[in-house]
Amino acid sequence: MNKPEYKKFFDLKGLIANIKDYSPEFNQEKFEKAFEFAEEAHTGQLRKDGTTPYITHPVKVTEILAEMHSDEDILIAALLHDVPEDTHKTLAEIEDKFGRDVAFLVDGITKFSKVQYKNNMPQREVESLKKLLLHSIQDPRVILIKLADRLHNMRTLHNIEKPEKRLRIAKETLEIYVPIANLLGIQYLRMELQELCFKYLLPKEYEELRVKIEQQQQDHRKALSEFVHILEQSFKENGINGEIFERKRNLYNIYKKITSEGKTISDVENRIAVRILVDKLSSCYQALGIIHGKFMAKTDKLKDYIANPKANGYKSLHTSVFGHGGYLTQVQIRTREMNIQVEYGVAEHLLRNEVEKLSQDERSAWVNKISELDQYAKKSGEFLENLKLDIFEDRILVYTPEGKGVDLPKGAAVIDFAYAIDPALGNRACGAEINGKTVLITKVLKSGDIVKVLASKTSSAELFWLSFAKTNFAKNQIKIHLKHTSKDRRMHEGARFLQKEFDIASLGVVANMNFKKISEAIGDNFEYSYNNIEDVLVAIGQGDLKAVDVVKSIKKDAKEGRKSGMIKVIVKIVAKNRFGLLRDVSEVLYRNASDMSYLKGYTAHSEEDAYFTAKILVKDIASVGKTFDELVQIEGVKDVYRVSNKGLILTYIFGTITAFLWILHPLLLKMQDQNPWVLNIVLFCLFLSVILVMNVVKKYFPYIRKKLLLWAITFSLPVLSLLILLIEIFYFNLQLNWTSLLIEIAIIYTYLGISFFQFRKRI
């Protein structure tokens, strides 16, 4: 059955011998039958390089799985995994010949038919992924086969001719299969997949970094062997059975780290990375003690992941010391047992020949959340987004005061934690105690935090929580709660939120924007259409529509939308002064802004209010809103608003015109003798500029808009100018057209009156 022409592609006999080595009772006959079945089905098919027979691929996938000591079902399913999708043979035949378990595994990996989704291939991908994950809930072995399949495809990715297809596959691997390998704790798979993705997605950077690290390894070779020599001797003296070796460095992680710190590849420091494997737990700490005794430790780098394992079960001691030659030497110490756990993750059960433990492993538990995600997602695209966000993102492990661990994505806030424990607790949350210190409900959590959620009968979920909640679970729960509040309240909250975003974007008063403009802008960008402004406000108020998205689409419609690039924002903050206020304010600004060119604060002696002005650089309009939300959360902060440069300039222009007219008016009064209309026109211009200034202030200075003082000034300015005018009329004994003057005054005050009452109605 092992045709001679296959010799140069794979060695089936060798593979079978390897399997028999770890599993003597393995059914060789059934395995060979599966090979023949697959070989026949794939006859005539070639891999993408145009010369390799297709059957090579399933055999290589089986080889990868045999390396982790997979059981018979997995190995046979791996041989058959591409049969139903790519050949005329069906799943029914597989079930008939190889049993239900094998057929179930193969089915989990088989994508939905191309015919069924011929108009929507991305949806086929998502639905197939969903099927894979749902099958994995029942049998976690499915996902192991898929990972091996993907690993072999990535190893042979260079054979795919179209560069865009190579990129698509590499990107998908990085976004979906690397996180899966990570969640399952299979580090050796994760690392190879990640490195291959890096190589195809950023070839130039990959090559540069690879060469650089190789060069470094050459440079520190002598220092390393000296370091190893010293430790080996000490280990021997202390009776520790330890192996010390240079560890393969994760190039992608190094790259991610340097770019996040704004450095380049040439800045990568020459470091030595070492791993030490010992026999027993106590030897780990003993070895650590020896290293710290021999070399100077960099104290902040000591991490005990044995006492506090990572969310994916990772266990090791980490330390960094200044080793021989002054090189910073990063050391990982673990037992050989832990090393198997770390390298193989859930696959350690295969290695130990305990397949039945696979489905009880906590590292597989995340697949159970898949059906829940599926339930909430309305569209396929949403499912994928939720999957990436709720499951694949880097995890943190946070504890209840009773010591129960809660696994959350990095960046999750107290709200997420509260909802994860119990939705009822989430809805009533009003704050929390982290490690004994009282914090806001919006506080972002760190791994290892012990969080006690504080609840109150009077508090309930608020709309602004949505911008702080990270998990879709919490977001959905908040939305469900909001939908139970009165329509009036939702509308009011929606209006408040939209106004806030309008002010940030300097779009003026929501009530002044006509609905047609809003609905046209929304219509193009959202799937729902709204009949009136109330509908829009309610949708915002219950979290179905984001105020910032409405603003974005209006701006895009007006062709003002900035596609990329940073936004400069001047923020003004009014707060009740207290000790620590400046620290809290600057902390929020520092965290959200990419740059801050100044931060000024002052308090008037008599006042207890403090005012801050900051000029910050943020990445987009949505982050402005988030920064504002966070600032408002700070204890004592009363108001946060954006100072608009455009508003300042317009106020300045209209103010200058007004002043100019006043200065010039004696001259104009003289001209009056020649033309009696001059005075009327000047007067009209004066009134007009007052109204313009008022409107500019209303649009660009939300803080002043709320004050009645603005209206008092607007109303009194025309009165004041009239008074002066009357004095002048009598003093100079002017001849005026009283009728036209009265009409002008009437028009202006009617206008002011109407806009005042409209405005009052809104607030």
Q: How far is the CB of 59 from Mn ion (least distance, A)?
A: 11
- Rank residues 149 and 584 by Cβ distance to Mn ion and give the closer one: 149
Positions in 669-728 near Mn ion (CB under 5 A): none
- Rank residues 82 and 416 by Cβ distance to Mn ion and give the closer one: 82
Cβ–Cβ contacts within 10 Å for residue 362, how many?
13
- Rank residues 82 and 195 by Cβ distance to Mn ion and give the closer one: 82
- Rank residues 154 and 414 by Cβ distance to Mn ion and give the closer one: 154
Residue 154 and residue 91: Cα distance in Å, rounded? 26
Burial class (CB in 10 A: 0-12, 13-18, 19+), 93: middle
The reply to whether 584 sits near Mn ion by the rule CB under 5 A is no
Among the listed residues 114, 63, 56, the one whose alpha carbon sits nearest the alpha carbon of residue 85: 114
Residue 716 and residue 389: Cα distance in Å, rounded? 56
The DSSP secondary structure of 426-473, one letter per residue, reads HHHEEEEEETTEEE-TTPBP-TT-BEEEEE-TT----GGGGGT--SHH
State the sign of the Cα–Cα–Cα–Cα dihedral 58, 63, 65, 66. Answer: positive
Contacts of 225 (CB under 8 A, 6+ apart): none
Positions in 51-90 near Mn ion (CB under 5 A): 82
32 is catalytic: no
Q: How far is the CB of 57 from Mn ion (least distance, A)?
A: 6
| Residue carrying the six token digits 């291959």 | 196
Q: How far is the CB of 545 from Mn ion (least distance, A)?
A: 42
State the sign of the Cα–Cα–Cα–Cα dihedral 168, 170, 171, 176. Answer: positive
Q: How far is the CB of 244 from Mn ion (least distance, A)?
A: 39
Q: How far is the CB of 90 from Mn ion (least distance, A)?
A: 17
Q: How far is the CB of 182 from Mn ion (least distance, A)?
A: 21
User: Mask 643-662, x = binds Mn ion (CB under 5 A)?
Assistant: --------------------
- Rank residues 82 and 629 by Cβ distance to Mn ion and give the closer one: 82
- Rank residues 10 and 654 by Cβ distance to Mn ion and give the closer one: 10
Q: In this structure, what token pair is assigned to residue 353? A: 């020949």
State the sign of the Cα–Cα–Cα–Cα dihedral 42, 47, 50, 56. Answer: negative
Cβ–Cβ contacts within 10 Å for residue 320, how many?
20
Question: In what side-by-side order are the strands of the sheet with 567-576?
Answer: 595-603, 609-618, 567-576, 637-643
- Rank residues 63 and 82 by Cβ distance to Mn ion and give the closer one: 82
Residue 536 and residue 546: Cα distance in Å, rounded? 10
Task: Quote the Cα angle for 12-18-19, to 5°.
Answer: 90
- Rank residues 82 and 125 by Cβ distance to Mn ion and give the closer one: 82
Among the listed residues 140, 681, 561, 161, the one whose alpha carbon sits nearest the alpha carbon of residue 364: 140
Residue 152 CA from chain centroid, whole number? 30
Cβ–Cβ contacts within 10 Å for residue 677, how many?
10
Q: In this structure, what token pair is assigned to residue 756? A: 């005042």
Three-state secondary-structure class, residue 608: coil
- Rank residues 48 and 294 by Cβ distance to Mn ion and give the closer one: 48
Contacts of 36 (CB under 8 A, 6+ apart): 1
Catalytic residue among 11, 86, 127, 172: 86
Q: Which long-range contacts (CB under 8 A, 24 or more apart) does 397-400 make?
A: 397/310, 397/311, 397/447, 397/448, 398/445, 398/446, 398/447, 398/448, 398/449, 398/450, 398/451, 399/448, 399/449, 399/450, 399/451, 400/450, 400/451, 400/452
Residue 143 and residue 141: Cα distance in Å, rounded? 5
Q: How far is the CB of 179 from Mn ion (least distance, A)?
A: 20
Cβ-proximal residue to Mn ion, closest one: 149
State the sign of the Cα–Cα–Cα–Cα dihedral 599, 605, 607, 608. Answer: positive
With residue 41 as reference, give the H or E element that holds it. helix 28-41
Contacts of 551 (CB under 8 A, 6+ apart): 498, 501, 502, 504, 505, 507, 621
Positions in 135-174 near Mn ion (CB under 5 A): 149
8 Å CB contact between 407 and 397 = yes
Q: Count the residues of the shown chain that bind Mn ion, applying the rule CB under 5 A.
A: 2
Residue 27 and residue 87: Cα distance in Å, rounded? 25
Q: How far is the CB of 82 from Mn ion (least distance, A)?
A: 4
575, β-bridge pairs? 610, 637
- Rank residues 113 and 308 by Cβ distance to Mn ion and give the closer one: 113
Q: How far is the CB of 401 from Mn ion (least distance, A)?
A: 48
- Rank residues 63 and 149 by Cβ distance to Mn ion and give the closer one: 149
Residue 30 and residue 76: Cα distance in Å, rounded? 8
Q: How far is the CB of 439 from Mn ion (least distance, A)?
A: 49
- Rank residues 71 and 149 by Cβ distance to Mn ion and give the closer one: 149
Alpha helices in 156-220 (DSSP H): 163-172, 178-183, 187-201, 203-219
11 is catalytic: no
Catalytic residue among 11, 32, 67, 85: 85
**Left if phi > 0, otherwise alpha if psi is -120 to 50, otherwise beta: which for 583?**
alpha
Q: How far is the CB of 152 from Mn ion (least distance, A)?
A: 7
Among the listed residues 137, 213, 129, 138, the one whose alpha carbon sits nearest the alpha carbon of residue 179: 129
Q: How far is the CB of 254 from Mn ion (least distance, A)?
A: 31
- Rank residues 151 and 599 by Cβ distance to Mn ion and give the closer one: 151
| Residue carrying the six token digits 């057929």 | 103
Q: In this structure, what token pair is assigned to residue 290? A: 């020896």
Residue 710 and residue 547: Cα distance in Å, rounded? 27
Residue 498 and residue 530: Cα distance in Å, rounded? 15
Q: How far is the CB of 51 from Mn ion (least distance, A)?
A: 18
Three-state secondary-structure class, residue 578: coil
Q: Which residues are catalytic?
A: 85-86
Residues of this chain that interact with Mn ion (CB under 5 A) are 82, 149
